[in-house]
Structure 1
Protein backbone atom coordinates (compact mmCIF):
# COMPACT_ATOMS: atom_id res chain seq x y z
CA UNK A 1 0.00 0.00 0.00
CA UNK A 2 2.87 2.38 0.70
CA UNK A 3 5.84 3.09 -1.54
CA UNK A 4 9.37 3.23 -0.07
CA UNK A 5 9.04 7.03 -0.17
CA UNK A 6 5.92 6.90 2.00
CA UNK A 7 5.63 7.38 5.77
CA UNK A 8 7.00 4.84 8.21
CA UNK A 9 4.79 2.98 10.68
CA UNK A 10 6.09 5.24 13.44
CA UNK A 11 5.15 8.35 11.45
CA UNK A 12 1.66 6.99 10.79
CA UNK A 13 1.14 6.27 14.49
CA UNK A 14 2.21 9.80 15.42
CA UNK A 15 -0.15 11.18 12.80
CA UNK A 16 -3.05 9.04 14.04
CA UNK A 17 -2.54 10.31 17.59
CA UNK A 18 -2.67 13.93 16.44
CA UNK A 19 -5.60 16.13 15.49
CA UNK A 20 -6.83 16.00 11.91
CA UNK A 21 -5.15 19.31 11.07
CA UNK A 22 -1.80 18.58 12.71
CA UNK A 23 -1.87 14.99 11.47
CA UNK A 24 -2.07 16.15 7.88
CA UNK A 25 0.59 18.76 8.47
CA UNK A 26 2.87 15.91 9.54
CA UNK A 27 1.83 13.66 6.64
CA UNK A 28 2.04 16.35 3.94
CA UNK A 29 5.69 15.81 2.86
CA UNK A 30 4.96 12.15 2.03
CA UNK A 31 1.23 12.29 1.28
CA UNK A 32 1.70 11.76 -2.47
CA UNK A 33 3.26 8.37 -1.69
CA UNK A 34 0.36 7.05 0.37
CA UNK A 35 -2.91 5.30 -0.60
CA UNK A 36 -4.79 8.23 0.95
CA UNK A 37 -4.03 10.36 -2.11
CA UNK A 38 -6.88 10.06 -4.62
CA UNK A 39 -5.73 7.75 -7.45
CA UNK A 40 -5.36 9.22 -10.91
CA UNK A 41 -7.91 6.80 -12.38
CA UNK A 42 -10.59 8.25 -10.06
CA UNK A 43 -9.59 11.79 -11.00
CA UNK A 44 -9.61 10.97 -14.71
CA UNK A 45 -12.99 9.23 -14.52
CA UNK A 46 -14.41 12.26 -12.74
CA UNK A 47 -13.01 14.61 -15.38
CA UNK A 48 -14.44 12.46 -18.18
CA UNK A 49 -17.90 12.55 -16.60
CA UNK A 50 -17.79 16.32 -16.07
CA UNK A 51 -16.39 17.26 -19.48
CA UNK A 52 -19.76 17.09 -21.34
CA UNK A 53 -21.26 19.41 -18.70
CA UNK A 54 -18.63 22.13 -19.21
CA UNK A 55 -16.70 24.14 -19.90
CA UNK A 56 -16.85 25.88 -16.56
CA UNK A 57 -15.68 29.27 -15.35
CA UNK A 58 -13.94 29.35 -11.98
CA UNK A 59 -13.26 26.13 -10.08
CA UNK A 60 -12.87 25.23 -6.39
CA UNK A 61 -11.30 22.13 -4.83
CA UNK A 62 -12.82 21.64 -1.38
CA UNK A 63 -10.39 19.98 1.06
CA UNK A 64 -7.75 20.13 -1.64
CA UNK A 65 -4.89 18.47 0.22
CA UNK A 66 -1.74 18.55 -1.89
CA UNK A 67 -3.69 19.60 -4.99
CA UNK A 68 -4.48 16.36 -6.80
CA UNK A 69 -7.89 17.75 -7.78
CA UNK A 70 -6.21 20.28 -10.05
CA UNK A 71 -5.86 17.38 -12.50
CA UNK A 72 -9.65 17.68 -12.87
CA UNK A 73 -10.21 21.42 -12.53
CA UNK A 74 -7.46 22.90 -14.69
CA UNK A 75 -8.55 21.29 -18.00
CA UNK A 76 -12.25 21.97 -17.37
CA UNK A 77 -12.21 25.54 -16.08
CA UNK A 78 -11.58 28.66 -18.16
CA UNK A 79 -11.25 30.87 -15.10
CA UNK A 80 -8.90 30.65 -12.16
CA UNK A 81 -8.96 27.55 -10.00
CA UNK A 82 -8.63 27.63 -6.21
CA UNK A 83 -7.94 25.04 -3.54
CA UNK A 84 -9.07 25.35 0.08
CA UNK A 85 -7.85 23.29 3.03
CA UNK A 86 -7.14 23.85 6.72
CA UNK A 87 -3.76 22.09 6.76
CA UNK A 88 -0.93 24.54 6.18
CA UNK A 89 1.42 21.66 5.40
CA UNK A 90 -0.82 20.28 2.67
CA UNK A 91 -1.33 23.74 1.16
CA UNK A 92 2.42 24.33 1.07
CA UNK A 93 2.85 21.17 -1.02
CA UNK A 94 -0.08 22.11 -3.25
CA UNK A 95 1.34 25.58 -3.85
CA UNK A 96 4.69 24.12 -4.90
CA UNK A 97 3.02 21.70 -7.34
CA UNK A 98 0.55 24.23 -8.81
CA UNK A 99 1.88 27.77 -8.34
CA UNK A 100 -0.57 29.16 -10.89
CA UNK A 101 -3.62 28.23 -8.78
CA UNK A 102 -5.01 30.11 -5.81
CA UNK A 103 -4.70 28.55 -2.35
CA UNK A 104 -6.75 29.47 0.69
CA UNK A 105 -6.36 28.18 4.23
CA UNK A 106 -9.78 27.90 5.86
CA UNK A 107 -12.10 25.58 7.73
CA UNK A 108 -14.44 24.31 5.02
CA UNK A 109 -17.27 24.20 7.54
CA UNK A 110 -17.17 28.00 7.23
CA UNK A 111 -16.07 28.63 3.65
CA UNK A 112 -15.13 32.28 3.04
CA UNK A 113 -16.70 32.51 -0.43
CA UNK A 114 -20.01 33.73 -1.82
CA UNK A 115 -21.23 33.28 -5.40
CA UNK A 116 -17.68 32.90 -6.69
CA UNK A 117 -17.41 29.54 -8.47
CA UNK A 118 -19.04 27.58 -11.28
CA UNK A 119 -17.64 24.16 -10.36
CA UNK A 120 -16.62 22.74 -6.98
CA UNK A 121 -15.10 19.30 -6.51
CA UNK A 122 -13.93 17.29 -3.53
CA UNK A 123 -12.05 14.00 -3.28
CA UNK A 124 -11.87 11.67 -0.30
CA UNK A 125 -12.79 14.29 2.29
CA UNK A 126 -16.30 13.47 3.51
CA UNK A 127 -15.09 10.91 6.04
CA UNK A 128 -13.41 13.72 7.96
CA UNK A 129 -16.78 15.24 8.86
CA UNK A 130 -19.19 13.87 11.39
CA UNK A 131 -22.77 13.63 10.11
CA UNK A 132 -23.70 16.62 12.26
CA UNK A 133 -21.00 18.70 10.54
CA UNK A 134 -22.00 17.99 6.96
CA UNK A 135 -24.87 20.53 6.82
CA UNK A 136 -22.38 23.37 7.41
CA UNK A 137 -20.05 21.97 4.76
CA UNK A 138 -22.80 21.59 2.16
CA UNK A 139 -24.30 24.99 2.97
CA UNK A 140 -20.89 26.61 2.54
CA UNK A 141 -20.32 24.99 -0.85
CA UNK A 142 -23.83 26.00 -1.93
CA UNK A 143 -23.08 29.59 -0.91
CA UNK A 144 -19.70 29.54 -2.70
CA UNK A 145 -21.26 28.56 -6.04
CA UNK A 146 -22.91 30.88 -8.50
CA UNK A 147 -26.53 30.11 -9.43
CA UNK A 148 -26.43 27.04 -11.65
CA UNK A 149 -23.03 26.04 -10.24
CA UNK A 150 -22.15 22.39 -9.77
CA UNK A 151 -20.66 20.50 -6.81
CA UNK A 152 -19.25 17.13 -7.87
CA UNK A 153 -17.49 14.35 -6.01
CA UNK A 154 -17.09 10.58 -6.40
CA UNK A 155 -18.52 8.24 -3.81
CA UNK A 156 -17.84 4.52 -3.68
CA UNK A 157 -20.51 1.85 -3.40
CA UNK A 158 -20.49 0.02 -0.07
CA UNK A 159 -18.65 -3.29 -0.35
CA UNK A 160 -20.67 -6.50 0.01
CA UNK A 161 -21.15 -7.81 3.54
CA UNK A 162 -19.22 -10.95 2.63
CA UNK A 163 -16.16 -9.15 1.28
CA UNK A 164 -12.91 -8.70 3.23
CA UNK A 165 -13.04 -4.99 2.36
CA UNK A 166 -16.33 -4.58 4.23
CA UNK A 167 -14.88 -6.02 7.41
CA UNK A 168 -11.60 -4.11 7.09
CA UNK A 169 -13.45 -0.79 6.75
CA UNK A 170 -15.75 -1.68 9.63
CA UNK A 171 -12.73 -2.59 11.74
CA UNK A 172 -11.06 0.72 10.87
CA UNK A 173 -14.14 2.70 11.90
CA UNK A 174 -14.42 0.80 15.18
CA UNK A 175 -10.73 1.36 15.90
CA UNK A 176 -11.16 5.09 15.25
CA UNK A 177 -14.12 5.27 17.60
CA UNK A 178 -12.16 3.54 20.36
CA UNK A 179 -9.18 5.82 19.71
CA UNK A 180 -11.36 8.94 19.89
CA UNK A 181 -13.05 7.73 23.07
CA UNK A 182 -9.69 7.27 24.80
CA UNK A 183 -7.47 9.96 23.29
CA UNK A 184 -7.66 13.69 22.65
CA UNK A 185 -7.57 15.52 20.33
CA UNK A 186 -9.92 13.51 18.15
CA UNK A 187 -8.95 12.35 14.68
CA UNK A 188 -12.13 12.18 12.62
CA UNK A 189 -11.94 9.69 9.77
CA UNK A 190 -14.84 7.30 9.33
CA UNK A 191 -15.65 5.31 6.20
CA UNK A 192 -19.10 4.14 7.24
CA UNK A 193 -20.78 7.53 7.68
CA UNK A 194 -20.81 8.62 4.02
CA UNK A 195 -23.54 6.46 2.52
CA UNK A 196 -24.98 7.86 -0.69
CA UNK A 197 -28.51 8.11 0.73
CA UNK A 198 -27.35 10.23 3.68
CA UNK A 199 -25.20 12.44 1.47
CA UNK A 200 -28.08 12.87 -0.99
CA UNK A 201 -30.44 13.94 1.79
CA UNK A 202 -27.90 16.39 3.20
CA UNK A 203 -27.26 18.01 -0.17
CA UNK A 204 -30.97 18.31 -0.88
CA UNK A 205 -31.53 19.95 2.50
CA UNK A 206 -28.80 22.47 1.62
CA UNK A 207 -30.70 23.50 -1.52
CA UNK A 208 -29.03 21.37 -4.19
CA UNK A 209 -30.70 19.37 -6.93
CA UNK A 210 -28.90 16.02 -6.83
CA UNK A 211 -28.26 13.38 -9.48
CA UNK A 212 -25.57 10.75 -9.89
CA UNK A 213 -23.80 9.13 -12.81
CA UNK A 214 -21.92 5.82 -12.71
CA UNK A 215 -18.16 5.99 -13.19
CA UNK A 216 -18.09 2.81 -15.24
CA UNK A 217 -14.40 3.18 -16.03
CA UNK A 218 -13.71 2.24 -12.41
CA UNK A 219 -15.38 -1.14 -12.79
CA UNK A 220 -18.49 -2.89 -11.56
CA UNK A 221 -19.38 -4.92 -8.51
CA UNK A 222 -20.32 -8.57 -8.67
CA UNK A 223 -24.00 -7.60 -8.71
CA UNK A 224 -23.42 -5.48 -11.82
CA UNK A 225 -23.67 -2.12 -10.10
CA UNK A 226 -20.90 0.47 -10.47
CA UNK A 227 -18.10 0.50 -7.92
CA UNK A 228 -18.24 4.27 -7.85
CA UNK A 229 -20.69 7.03 -8.72
CA UNK A 230 -20.19 10.73 -9.31
CA UNK A 231 -22.54 12.87 -7.26
CA UNK A 232 -23.70 15.95 -9.18
CA UNK A 233 -25.26 18.56 -6.90
CA UNK A 234 -26.41 21.66 -8.72
CA UNK A 235 -27.33 24.99 -7.17
CA UNK A 236 -30.67 25.99 -8.65
Structure 2
Protein backbone atom coordinates (compact mmCIF):
# COMPACT_ATOMS: atom_id res chain seq x y z
CA UNK A 1 0.00 0.00 0.00
CA UNK A 2 2.93 2.36 0.65
CA UNK A 3 5.77 3.27 -1.70
CA UNK A 4 9.33 2.79 -0.40
CA UNK A 5 9.54 6.59 0.02
CA UNK A 6 6.44 6.55 2.23
CA UNK A 7 6.22 6.85 6.02
CA UNK A 8 7.44 4.14 8.37
CA UNK A 9 5.12 2.36 10.77
CA UNK A 10 6.55 4.43 13.62
CA UNK A 11 5.91 7.67 11.75
CA UNK A 12 2.32 6.64 11.08
CA UNK A 13 1.84 5.77 14.75
CA UNK A 14 3.12 9.17 15.84
CA UNK A 15 0.81 10.86 13.35
CA UNK A 16 -2.18 8.84 14.52
CA UNK A 17 -1.59 9.95 18.12
CA UNK A 18 -1.46 13.62 17.14
CA UNK A 19 -4.18 16.12 16.32
CA UNK A 20 -5.47 16.23 12.74
CA UNK A 21 -3.51 19.42 12.03
CA UNK A 22 -0.22 18.32 13.58
CA UNK A 23 -0.57 14.79 12.25
CA UNK A 24 -0.75 16.04 8.67
CA UNK A 25 2.09 18.48 9.28
CA UNK A 26 4.20 15.45 10.21
CA UNK A 27 2.99 13.33 7.31
CA UNK A 28 3.20 16.06 4.66
CA UNK A 29 6.70 15.36 3.25
CA UNK A 30 5.75 11.74 2.51
CA UNK A 31 2.01 12.11 1.98
CA UNK A 32 2.13 11.73 -1.79
CA UNK A 33 3.73 8.30 -1.34
CA UNK A 34 0.79 6.94 0.67
CA UNK A 35 -2.59 5.51 -0.38
CA UNK A 36 -4.24 8.46 1.38
CA UNK A 37 -3.62 10.73 -1.62
CA UNK A 38 -6.52 10.64 -4.08
CA UNK A 39 -5.37 8.41 -6.97
CA UNK A 40 -5.21 9.55 -10.57
CA UNK A 41 -7.85 6.94 -11.43
CA UNK A 42 -10.33 9.17 -9.55
CA UNK A 43 -8.89 12.56 -10.46
CA UNK A 44 -8.97 11.95 -14.22
CA UNK A 45 -12.70 11.14 -14.60
CA UNK A 46 -13.59 14.02 -12.28
CA UNK A 47 -11.49 16.37 -14.42
CA UNK A 48 -13.30 15.19 -17.55
CA UNK A 49 -16.70 15.65 -15.94
CA UNK A 50 -15.79 19.18 -14.86
CA UNK A 51 -14.57 20.05 -18.34
CA UNK A 52 -18.02 19.07 -19.58
CA UNK A 53 -19.69 21.20 -16.88
CA UNK A 54 -17.43 24.25 -17.31
CA UNK A 55 -15.80 26.48 -18.11
CA UNK A 56 -15.16 28.08 -14.73
CA UNK A 57 -13.32 31.26 -13.83
CA UNK A 58 -12.22 30.63 -10.22
CA UNK A 59 -12.04 27.45 -8.17
CA UNK A 60 -11.37 26.38 -4.58
CA UNK A 61 -9.93 23.04 -3.47
CA UNK A 62 -11.40 22.49 0.00
CA UNK A 63 -9.03 20.65 2.36
CA UNK A 64 -6.52 20.59 -0.48
CA UNK A 65 -3.68 18.74 1.23
CA UNK A 66 -0.69 18.71 -1.09
CA UNK A 67 -2.81 19.75 -4.05
CA UNK A 68 -4.34 16.77 -5.86
CA UNK A 69 -7.55 18.74 -6.42
CA UNK A 70 -5.60 21.88 -7.27
CA UNK A 71 -4.25 19.99 -10.27
CA UNK A 72 -7.82 19.24 -11.34
CA UNK A 73 -8.85 22.88 -10.96
CA UNK A 74 -5.92 24.06 -13.05
CA UNK A 75 -7.40 22.16 -15.98
CA UNK A 76 -10.89 23.65 -15.71
CA UNK A 77 -10.47 27.18 -14.26
CA UNK A 78 -9.27 30.04 -16.41
CA UNK A 79 -8.49 32.80 -13.91
CA UNK A 80 -7.76 31.73 -10.34
CA UNK A 81 -7.26 28.58 -8.27
CA UNK A 82 -7.06 28.48 -4.48
CA UNK A 83 -6.14 25.61 -2.19
CA UNK A 84 -7.21 25.83 1.45
CA UNK A 85 -6.12 23.50 4.24
CA UNK A 86 -5.59 23.58 8.00
CA UNK A 87 -2.15 21.96 7.74
CA UNK A 88 0.72 24.35 7.05
CA UNK A 89 2.95 21.37 6.24
CA UNK A 90 0.65 20.05 3.52
CA UNK A 91 0.30 23.53 2.00
CA UNK A 92 4.08 23.95 1.95
CA UNK A 93 4.53 20.73 -0.03
CA UNK A 94 1.86 21.78 -2.53
CA UNK A 95 3.28 25.28 -2.86
CA UNK A 96 6.82 23.99 -3.45
CA UNK A 97 5.62 21.64 -6.18
CA UNK A 98 3.64 24.33 -7.98
CA UNK A 99 6.62 26.69 -8.02
CA UNK A 100 8.05 24.42 -10.70
CA UNK A 101 4.99 24.97 -12.90
CA UNK A 102 4.64 28.16 -14.91
CA UNK A 103 1.32 27.63 -16.66
CA UNK A 104 -1.81 29.64 -15.79
CA UNK A 105 -3.97 30.13 -13.82
CA UNK A 106 -2.57 31.77 -10.71
CA UNK A 107 -2.60 29.51 -7.62
CA UNK A 108 -2.99 30.72 -4.03
CA UNK A 109 -2.41 28.52 -0.97
CA UNK A 110 -4.36 29.57 2.13
CA UNK A 111 -4.15 28.13 5.63
CA UNK A 112 -7.63 28.09 7.16
CA UNK A 113 -10.22 25.84 8.79
CA UNK A 114 -12.86 24.65 6.32
CA UNK A 115 -15.45 25.40 9.01
CA UNK A 116 -14.53 29.11 8.93
CA UNK A 117 -13.51 30.01 5.39
CA UNK A 118 -11.95 33.47 4.99
CA UNK A 119 -13.58 34.26 1.64
CA UNK A 120 -16.65 35.97 0.31
CA UNK A 121 -18.77 34.65 -2.59
CA UNK A 122 -15.92 34.72 -5.12
CA UNK A 123 -15.73 31.17 -6.49
CA UNK A 124 -17.53 29.49 -9.38
CA UNK A 125 -16.43 26.00 -8.33
CA UNK A 126 -15.49 24.26 -5.09
CA UNK A 127 -14.11 20.71 -5.14
CA UNK A 128 -12.95 18.36 -2.41
CA UNK A 129 -11.30 14.95 -2.50
CA UNK A 130 -11.19 12.47 0.37
CA UNK A 131 -11.49 14.96 3.23
CA UNK A 132 -15.03 14.56 4.52
CA UNK A 133 -14.15 11.79 6.96
CA UNK A 134 -12.45 14.46 9.05
CA UNK A 135 -15.81 16.05 9.85
CA UNK A 136 -18.35 14.52 12.20
CA UNK A 137 -21.92 14.21 10.88
CA UNK A 138 -23.09 17.05 13.13
CA UNK A 139 -20.47 19.32 11.52
CA UNK A 140 -21.78 18.82 7.99
CA UNK A 141 -24.46 21.56 8.11
CA UNK A 142 -21.88 24.18 9.09
CA UNK A 143 -19.36 22.89 6.56
CA UNK A 144 -21.84 22.96 3.69
CA UNK A 145 -23.03 26.41 4.76
CA UNK A 146 -19.43 27.64 4.51
CA UNK A 147 -19.11 26.24 0.99
CA UNK A 148 -22.44 27.83 0.02
CA UNK A 149 -21.23 31.20 1.33
CA UNK A 150 -18.07 31.29 -0.83
CA UNK A 151 -19.81 30.34 -4.09
CA UNK A 152 -21.27 32.86 -6.46
CA UNK A 153 -24.94 32.31 -7.37
CA UNK A 154 -24.97 29.43 -9.82
CA UNK A 155 -21.60 28.19 -8.55
CA UNK A 156 -21.03 24.48 -8.04
CA UNK A 157 -19.77 22.31 -5.20
CA UNK A 158 -18.49 19.08 -6.74
CA UNK A 159 -16.96 15.98 -5.17
CA UNK A 160 -16.73 12.23 -5.87
CA UNK A 161 -18.24 9.73 -3.49
CA UNK A 162 -17.78 5.98 -3.57
CA UNK A 163 -20.51 3.40 -3.15
CA UNK A 164 -20.41 1.74 0.27
CA UNK A 165 -18.90 -1.74 0.30
CA UNK A 166 -21.29 -4.67 0.36
CA UNK A 167 -22.07 -5.81 3.93
CA UNK A 168 -19.91 -8.77 4.82
CA UNK A 169 -17.30 -8.06 2.15
CA UNK A 170 -13.60 -7.68 3.09
CA UNK A 171 -13.79 -3.93 2.40
CA UNK A 172 -16.85 -3.63 4.67
CA UNK A 173 -15.06 -5.29 7.58
CA UNK A 174 -11.86 -3.31 6.96
CA UNK A 175 -13.65 0.03 7.13
CA UNK A 176 -15.69 -1.06 10.14
CA UNK A 177 -12.50 -2.13 11.92
CA UNK A 178 -10.78 1.16 11.09
CA UNK A 179 -13.67 3.29 12.34
CA UNK A 180 -14.00 1.19 15.49
CA UNK A 181 -10.29 1.51 16.22
CA UNK A 182 -10.50 5.26 15.68
CA UNK A 183 -13.41 5.59 18.10
CA UNK A 184 -11.51 3.63 20.74
CA UNK A 185 -8.41 5.76 20.15
CA UNK A 186 -10.40 8.98 20.53
CA UNK A 187 -12.09 7.74 23.68
CA UNK A 188 -8.72 7.02 25.30
CA UNK A 189 -6.39 9.65 23.87
CA UNK A 190 -6.33 13.42 23.47
CA UNK A 191 -6.21 15.32 21.25
CA UNK A 192 -8.69 13.47 19.02
CA UNK A 193 -7.88 12.52 15.46
CA UNK A 194 -11.15 12.58 13.55
CA UNK A 195 -11.23 10.31 10.51
CA UNK A 196 -14.21 8.03 9.98
CA UNK A 197 -14.72 6.37 6.60
CA UNK A 198 -18.32 5.26 7.17
CA UNK A 199 -19.80 8.54 8.48
CA UNK A 200 -20.27 10.28 5.12
CA UNK A 201 -23.39 8.66 3.66
CA UNK A 202 -24.73 9.80 0.30
CA UNK A 203 -28.43 9.94 1.26
CA UNK A 204 -27.70 12.03 4.37
CA UNK A 205 -25.25 14.26 2.52
CA UNK A 206 -27.67 14.90 -0.32
CA UNK A 207 -30.47 15.82 2.09
CA UNK A 208 -28.20 18.21 4.00
CA UNK A 209 -26.98 19.89 0.82
CA UNK A 210 -30.57 20.52 -0.22
CA UNK A 211 -31.37 21.96 3.22
CA UNK A 212 -28.39 24.28 2.83
CA UNK A 213 -29.77 25.70 -0.41
CA UNK A 214 -28.13 23.58 -3.09
CA UNK A 215 -29.75 21.88 -6.04
CA UNK A 216 -28.18 18.43 -6.20
CA UNK A 217 -27.47 16.17 -9.16
CA UNK A 218 -25.66 12.83 -9.18
CA UNK A 219 -23.49 11.78 -12.12
CA UNK A 220 -22.13 8.27 -12.50
CA UNK A 221 -18.38 7.91 -12.96
CA UNK A 222 -18.31 4.86 -15.27
CA UNK A 223 -14.50 4.83 -15.34
CA UNK A 224 -14.59 3.57 -11.73
CA UNK A 225 -16.54 0.47 -12.75
CA UNK A 226 -19.79 -1.16 -11.66
CA UNK A 227 -20.85 -3.12 -8.62
CA UNK A 228 -22.25 -6.67 -9.03
CA UNK A 229 -25.80 -5.24 -9.07
CA UNK A 230 -24.92 -2.94 -11.99
CA UNK A 231 -24.84 0.29 -9.98
CA UNK A 232 -21.78 2.57 -10.28
CA UNK A 233 -18.90 2.20 -7.86
CA UNK A 234 -18.46 5.96 -7.83
CA UNK A 235 -20.64 9.00 -8.39
CA UNK A 236 -19.99 12.69 -8.76
CA UNK A 237 -22.09 14.93 -6.55
CA UNK A 238 -22.82 18.23 -8.29
CA UNK A 239 -24.45 20.71 -5.90
CA UNK A 240 -25.37 24.04 -7.47
CA UNK A 241 -25.99 27.18 -5.43
CA UNK A 242 -29.41 28.45 -6.46
CA UNK A 243 -29.33 31.84 -8.14
Q: With structure 2 as the length reference, what TM-score do the two structures score? A: 0.96
d(CA) in 2 for partners of 1:120, 1:97: 21
Residue aligned with 1:225, SS: coil
d(CA) in 2 for partners of 1:41, 1:63: 19
- What residue in structure 1 maps to residue 102 of structure 2? none
- What residue in structure 2 maps to residue 51 of structure 1? 51
Return 5+ residue gaps in structure 1 as ranges.
none
Work out which of the residue numbers 200, 210, 221 in structure 1 matches 2:216.
Answer: 210
1:184 aligned to 2:190? yes
1:222 aligned to 2:228? yes
d(CA) in 2 for partners of 1:96, 1:206: 36
C-alpha offsets along residues 192-236 of structure 1, whole Å, 9 cap, x if unaligned? Answer: 110101111111111111111010101111111111100000001
d(CA) in 2 for partners of 1:197, 1:98: 36
Cα offset, 1:18, TM superposition: 0.3
Residue aligned with 2:44, SS: helix
1:103 aligned to 2:109? yes
Return 5+ residue gaps in structure 2 as ranges.
100-105
Report the number of matched residues. 236
1:194 aligned to 2:218? no
Q: With structure 1 as the length reference, what TM-score do the two structures score? A: 0.98
d(CA) in 2 for partners of 1:132, 1:2: 32
Where in structure 1 do 4 or more consecutive aligned residues deviate above 2 Å?
none
d(CA) in 1 for partners of 2:85, 2:71: 17
Cα offset, 1:71, TM superposition: 2.2
C-alpha offsets along residues 8-41 of structure 1, whole Å, 9 cap, x if unaligned? Answer: 0000000000000000000000000000000011
- What residue in structure 2 maps to residue 73 of structure 1? 73
- What residue in structure 2 maps to residue 134 of structure 1? 140
Aligned-residue CA RMSD (Å): 0.7
Cα offset, 1:80, TM superposition: 0.8
- What residue in structure 1 maps to residue 31 of structure 2? 31
